Structure 1
Amino acid sequence: MMDELELLKKDWQKKGAELPKLSFDEIQNMLWKKSSSIVRWILIISVLEISLPQLLFLFPSIRNSMALLDNSTFNLGLLILSIFYYAVVVYFIYLFYKRYREISVLENAKTLMDKIILTRKTAFYYIIFSLSMFFVFFLYYALEMYFVDDVLMSIDGFEEVLKKRTLEEIRTMVFWGVILGGFFFTLVMGGIYFLLYGILLRKLKKNYQELKRLEI
């Protein structure tokens, strides 16, 4: 039995010797290309993320539901929040583009490692900001529902519910309903974010670890 194992080992070593061996520069070049491709995908996903929701307004039902919220105070606050959100997201997209351009220009392994760390930090901050803003939008909507009667009354079936419950009860129910809805929506989006971006960031981390190992 031992003789057979030794023969198998020798046969494998013989075959391994015949396989092409990659040089340090070739491995580094492969990791650079993989890293550049990953950052490009992060950039593409972030652009799609800010663009695709706008297509929802092509549907009449979405436009009609937004038209119900015809309150100047509500719309002004929503506009301010939206401008802030999109301005910051556009800035993050610019940073992702900048990281992609920086990584696309190969200098050395140390520089590439630094850019990978910077890209991972940028993506992490982007995820935290986006998830925070999702909940802020729901919180703002809930507060408007509670304090502005015009917004509350725009809900379908409000008149029927008012016959059974007081206005204060409806306000409280709607407020906490929106808060809970926003919390679960943020959790779901967090799962999607950490799944989608997480896969890409883990690949970047793996590339970083490979580069670090090569540098030792």
Structure 2
Amino acid sequence: MDELDILKKDWQKREIEHPKLSYNDIYKMIWKKSSSIVKWIFIISILEFVLPNLLYLLPSTRERMSIYYTNDSSTFFIVLSGIQYLVIFYFIFQFYKRYKEISVLDDARTLMKNIIKTRRTVKHYVIFSLSMILLTMSLFAASFYFDPNMLTAVYPNEIPEGLTEEKLRTIMAISFIVVALLTTALLALIYFLLYGLLLKKLNRNYHELKKMEI
């Protein structure tokens, strides 16, 4: 039982030995906790965008990524990356907007509506992020199979002994698909641990407010 549950129990039972708390006292506790949770959602979304992009500053990372942007499919992947960045910026802005809205609320019913909007925004963001990861890596796999320049970029000198070009393209494509599935599953777990726990706390606050409104 957390602090909010204890205070709510005090408020309901009105026990003499505990300080009496008004409706407004309980609301302010829930409001502050909700505001803090949404702020952390906003911060985590920024870190999630910034940290992977910092890796691109490393020469080794830039060299590996250049393979995927120096072939016949480069224009498509650049456009896809641009769209992905725009949508991510949109979601980060929405998280910031939800945080600012919750920070200035003065009634429980509006807070409940904003909690619902925040939960919906987070769910859409997680679905989009996982879908883009799976889609992008699957397209890379298809590029290895259909675009000979991709294979030439990875093996500029000669194909490993015992393998034909077609067989090697198939192996690379299947490997990318397997990595895509494993990466998506791992990130889904991370999202559950980060956003899932925060949404669970936010959902608890929503139900507490709903009980108070009845």
Same fold per TM (> 0.5)? yes
Determine what percentage of the aligned residue pairs are the same residue: 47
For residue 118 of structure 1, report the CA deviation from its aligned partner.
0.8
- 1:1-25 deviation per Cα after TM superposition (whole angstroms, max 9, x unaligned): xxxxxxxxxxxxxxx5222121110
Aligned equivalent of 1:150: 149
RMSD over aligned Cα atoms: 1.5
The two structures have a TM-score, normalised by structure 2, of 0.89
Runs of 5+ consecutive residues of structure 1 not aligned to the other structure: 1-15
* Higher-Rg member (1/2): 1
Aligned equivalent of 1:176: 174
Aligned equivalent of 1:211: 209
Is it true that 1:123 corresponds to 2:119 in the alignment?
Answer: no
Give the aligned residue type for 1:190. A
Q: Say which SS state the counterpart of residue 83 (structure 2) adopts.
A: helix
Give the aligned residue type for 2:178. L
**Residues 88-127 of structure 1 mapped to structure 2, 5 A cutoff:** 88-127=87-126
Kept in 1, the 8 Å contact 2:138–2:177? The answer is yes
The two structures have a TM-score, normalised by structure 1, of 0.88
For residue 135 of structure 1, report the CA deviation from its aligned partner.
0.5
User: Residues of 2 paired with 1:144 and 1:205: CA distance?
Assistant: 42
- After the TM superposition, list the runs of 4 or more consecutive aligned residues in structure 1 that deviate by more than 4 angstroms: none
Aligned equivalent of 2:56: 57
User: Residues of 1 paired with 2:79 and 2:45: CA distance?
Assistant: 21
Kept in 1, the 8 Å contact 2:69–2:77? The answer is no
Runs of 5+ consecutive residues of structure 2 not aligned to the other structure: 1-14
User: Residues of 1 paired with 2:196 and 2:67: CA distance?
Assistant: 38
Q: Single out whichever of 187-196 and 102-111 deviates more from structure 2.
A: 102-111
Q: Single out whichever of 104-113 and 151-160 deviates more from structure 2.
A: 151-160
User: Residues of 2 paired with 1:72 and 1:154: CA distance?
Assistant: 8
